[in-house]
Amino acid sequence: MKGTHLGEFEELTLLTVAMLYDNSYGVAIQRELAERCGRKVTISTVHATLQRLHQKGYVESRYDGATAERGGRRKHLFRVTKNGEVALSKAKELRENLWQAIPKPAFGWKSK
């Protein structure tokens, strides 16, 4: 499938969905990205990213029951699919392999 690689923000969003598990909805994802990653993003950016992840088959969603605290609106909850878990594992493995391949003096060199 074309476009199955994760971009950085998609990866962070997918990791956040997994972390939030059964309470993973737009505003909660937005809040966690701000708190844990220092990424202040709009809710529309979060929703657009979730839509892309859904199109790639990396998340699935459902609606929770309406609550009074949300003005009778339902939460649109997201969950990482098996394909999403595989994509995250591949991204993690790729990053770890690159880090392991960096020679020890690579970050200690001085400019002339």
DSSP line for the chain: -TT-SPPHHHHHHHHHHHHHGGG--HHHHHHHHHHHH-----HHHHHHHHHHHHHTTSEEEEEPPP-GGGTTPPPEEEEE-HHHHHHHHHHHHHHHHHHHHS-GGGGT----
Residue 70, pLDDT score:
65
The first and second tokens of residue 12, run together, are 């962070």
Closest to 64 (Cα-Cα) out of 55, 53, 77: 77
pTM: 0.86
Residue 65, pLDDT score:
75
Average pLDDT along the chain, 112 residues, taken 10 residues at a time: 78 98 95 95 97 97 79 89 97 94 84 59
Residue 57, pLDDT score:
97
Name all domains of the chain by residue range, CATH numbers in brackets.
8-101 (1.10.10.10)
Residue 3, pLDDT score:
60
The first and second tokens of residue 103, run together, are 């020679």
Residue 110, pLDDT score:
67
- On whether the CB atoms of residues 52 and 69 are closer than 8 A, the answer is no
